[in-house]
Chains A and B, each alone.
Chain A
Amino acid sequence: MAYKIKSAECTVCGACEAECPNIAISFKKGTYIIDPTKCSECEGQFDSPQCASVCPADCCVPA
């Protein structure tokens, strides 16, 4: 259970990184990635996955 970032569509804006409650998102080699071991899909924390809600490119999706 985790989200991932479709890197081909990511604009590298960093909005998702700032919103993730679990610090699962980081900037590596020119793009943002989600660490699946840290991602909880925001279960129990928020109504919706925060990264997907803020992403302007709609590229944060279930892995």
Chain B
Amino acid sequence: MGNVISLDSILGLGELKAPAESTPVAASGCSSSSCGSSDGPADMDPAVWEKVKNHPCYSEEAHHYFARMHVAVAPACNIQCNYCNRKYDCSNESRPGVVSEKLTPDQAIRKILAVAQEIPQLSVIGIAGPGDSLAAGARNTFATFEHLQKKAPDLKLCLSTNGLALPENVERIAQYNIDHVTITINMVDPEIGRHIYPWIFYKHKRWTGLDAAKILHEQQMLGLEMLTARGILVKINSVMIPGVNDTHLLDVNKAVKARGAFLHNIMPLISDPAHGTHFGLTGQRGPTAQELKVVQDACEGGAKLMRHCRQCRADAVGLLGEDRGEEFTTDKIEAMGEIGYDEEARRTYRDHVEAERAGRHASKEAAKAEVQETVGAEAAPILIAVATKGGERINEHFGHAKEFQIYEVGPSGAKFVGHRRVDQYCEGGSGDADTLDGVLAAINDCAAVLVAKIGGCPSKSLEAAGIEPVDRFAFEYIEESALAYFKDHAERLGRGAVQSRAGQDAVIRTGALTARRA
């Protein structure tokens, strides 16, 4: 349980640094950057914000506070993707479509109730596979949601699909009150699609080549239109495959925005020969951090982008960036006996988060104003890495971090732009040089790394690599600290005391994010 943030620790810290005097609650008077996310209230329809504000996958702000849980009740799939090999199943793996324990709908309900008792941050239940949630008649998916609606009506429901069977299921999705759907759309041109999808199973036939890609594309667009017409929120996931669909993703972004998708999430291809996927075996590589960012930045004006997606496993449990799945295996849940359901703890937690968020808007504005005054509005932004366990604070030890969150900070504010997975540098007390090299490669494009604490040895290596280790903002809020650091950095840059790191690239790690190492 080492990596878990307890409710107490978040509440406690919140009181320690009480938010500034009462500021009117979010809905108005908040510029988009001061909300700390590209999806803050100012540039979002209030009705949509109400739906997504506590959803960790849809709101950058919420992903610091709320937890999601996927239940793996849908093993069957109706298409084949070149980046997926459903035979491969390994608990060290962390990519969509992979899961180690498949559940029946009954087992899934028990697991959800058990987790809800343990983790009051839980706000969302999703079905994302490990196959396609709507394949095989979507029987397990809807059976699970039907039960859940009766037993735990306060939890939000969502599902992910490749879209092939979407049009015929839209009616039922609306009926079960599923207010968020994710569709994976990697192309809007079947010519490109044929290089991603070798076959689909549709209307009792296996289709290949251009026909397959064309049918899939049409079903995806139709399904998307039908959902948005019913007011159901739709997020689009796209897998960026260099040389196949990288620049084409701009067209995807335009097409899905025009059809009403509210978020577009571009994620890197995860490809490794050991996974046995088609792309893995043909040596198709994934994008580097900079390549990914270039495409994401180019799409920024289109459908809103989401950059905090962790490509969670189909059985992930916990806050984004952590996976507590191993605490809730079927054996352990069977052993728990009768499981009750109590909404009170979750309600208290949500109220607390509301209050804390309101206060933050004021303090972020103040930090930004100060930067603009001292540095000016022209200074080039920098990237910084942050070690955090959640609650939007710099509260993780460098050596314990399993990922670093990357912020782009400049005169217009601090913006979350991504996360980099790493091996924990410090396992069982002593650091290991290989892992440290991996961490350095993962955050090589950053000017600094903000941590709660860091040892002398890694500090020296970071400095030698030109990345400044910073622990003076320990346990402070991320964005305010990032802005304060930026002010200081810009001042030293002006004096020539530090070197700019513009033009550096970093490596995206494709391996695991599991609770095992904790």
Question: Chain A residues in contact with chain B, CB under 8 A?
Answer: 9, 11-15, 17-19, 46-48, 50, 53-54, 56-57
Known: A54-B78, A56-B77. A15 touches B136 (CB 8 A): yes
Q: Which stretch of B146-154, B198-206, B316-324 is in the interface?
A: B198-206
Residues 77-90 of chain B, each 1 if its beta carbon lies under 8 Å from chain A, else 0: 11010000011000
Q: B230 contacts the other chain (Cβ, under 8 Å)?
A: no
Contact string against A for B residues 133-148, beta-carbon threshold 8 Å, 1 for contact and 0 otherwise: 0011101000000000
Point out the residues of chain B lying under 8 angstroms from A48, CB to CB: 205-206
Are B201 and A53 within 8 A (Cβ)?
yes
Chain A, interface SS category: loop
Tell me whether B136 and A53 are in contact (CB under 8 A). no
A11 and B86 within 8 A (CB): yes
Question: B204 and A53: CB pair below 8 A?
Answer: yes
Q: Report the interface size for chain B: residues with CB under 8 A from the other chain.
A: 17
Bound CA–CA A18/B78 (angstroms): 11
Kindly identify which residue among B75, B78, B137 contacts A12, using a CB–CB cutoff of 8 Å: B75
CB A17 to nearest CB in B, in angstroms, measures: 7
Closest to B85 in A: A56
Known: A13-B76, A14-B75, A56-B86. 20 other contacts (CB 8 A): A11-B75, A11-B86, A11-B87, A14-B76, A15-B75, A15-B76, A15-B77, A15-B78, A15-B131, A15-B201, A18-B136, A18-B139, A19-B201, A19-B204, A46-B204, A53-B201, A53-B206, A54-B76, A54-B206, A56-B80
Nearest A residue to B89, CB-CB: A11
CB distance from B314 to the nearest CB of A (A): 12
Residues in A neighbouring B139, C-beta threshold 8 A? 18
Q: Is B86 within 8 A of A13, CB to CB?
A: yes
Complex: chain A residue closest to B102, CB-CB: A12
Known: A18-B137, A53-B206, A56-B77. A13 touches B201 (CB 8 A): no
Residue of B nearest to A46 (CB): B204
Q: How far is the CA of A11 from the CA of B139 in the complex (A)?
A: 19
Report Cα–Cα, A50/B76, bound state, in Å: 14
CB distance from B90 to the nearest CB of A (A): 13
B84 to chain A, nearest CB (A): 9
The distance in angstroms between the C-alpha atoms of A54 and B488, with both chains bound, is 60
Who on chain A is nearest to B206 by CB?
A: A53
| Cross-interface CB contact of A13 among B131, B204, B206, cutoff 8 Å | B131
Which residues of chain B (187-214) have a CB below 8 Å from chain A?
A: 201, 204-206
State whether A53 and B205 are in contact (beta carbons under 8 Å apart), knowing that A13-B131, A18-B137 are contacts in the complex.
yes
* B206 partner residues in chain A, CB cutoff 8 A: 48, 53-54
Nearest-CB distance from A24 to chain B (Å)? 16
CA distance A54 to B165 in the complex (A): 14
8 contacts between A and B (CB under 8 A): A11-B75, A13-B75, A15-B76, A15-B131, A15-B135, A47-B205, A53-B205, A54-B76
CB A10 to nearest CB in B, in angstroms, measures 9
Tell me, in angstroms, the Cα distance from A48 to B202 when the chains sit together: 12
B161 → A minimal CB distance (Å) = 15
Task: Tell me how far the C-beta of B87 lies from the nearest C-beta in chain A, rounded to whole angstroms.
Answer: 5
Q: How far is the CB of A2 from chain B (nearest CB, A)?
A: 19
Residues in chain B near residue A14, CB distance under 8 A: 75-76, 136
- Distance (Å) between the CB of A57 and the closest chain B CB? 6
Distance of B102 from chain A, by nearest CB (Å): 8
Closest approach, in angstroms, between the C-beta of B303 and any C-beta of chain A? 31
**Chain A residues, CB < 8 A from B86:** 11, 13, 56-57
B80 partner residues in chain A, CB cutoff 8 A: 56
Are the C-beta atoms of A13 and B77 separated by less than 8 Å? yes
How near does chain B come to A8, taking the closest CB pair, in angstroms? 11
Residues of chain B within 8 A (CB-CB) of A17 are 136
- Complex Cα distance A13/B201, Å? 15
CB-CB contacts of B410-429 with A at 8 A, as 1s and 0s?
Answer: 00000000000000000000
Docked complex Cα distance between A46 and B201 (Å): 13
B87 lies within 8 A of A57 (CB) = yes
Chain A residue contacts of B201, Cβ below 8 A: 15, 19, 53-54
Complex: chain A residue closest to B79, CB-CB: A56
Quick one: closest A residue to B87, CB to CB?
Answer: A11
Nearest-Cβ distance from residue A25 to partner chain B, whole angstroms: 11
In the complex, chain B residues 38-88 whose Cβ is within 8 Å of any chain A Cβ: 75-78, 80, 86-87
- B203's nearest neighbour on chain A, judged by CB, is A46
Report how far A18 CA is from B75 CA in the complex, Å: 12
Most chain B CB within a 10 A radius of its CB, from A9, A14, A17, A48 = A14
A11: B residues at CB distance < 8 A: 75, 86-87
Q: Considering the complex, give the chain B residue whose CB is closest to the CB of A56.
A: B86
Q: From residue B136, how far is it (CB to closest CB) to chain A in Å? A: 4
Question: A12–B102 Cα gap in the complex (Å)?
Answer: 10
Q: How far is the CB of A7 from chain B (nearest CB, A)?
A: 13
A11 to B102, CA, bound (A): 11
For A47, list chain B residues within 8 Å (CB).
204-205
Docked CA distance A54–B102 (Å): 19
Q: Determine the distance from Cα of A12 to Cα of B204 in the docked complex, in whole angstroms.
A: 20
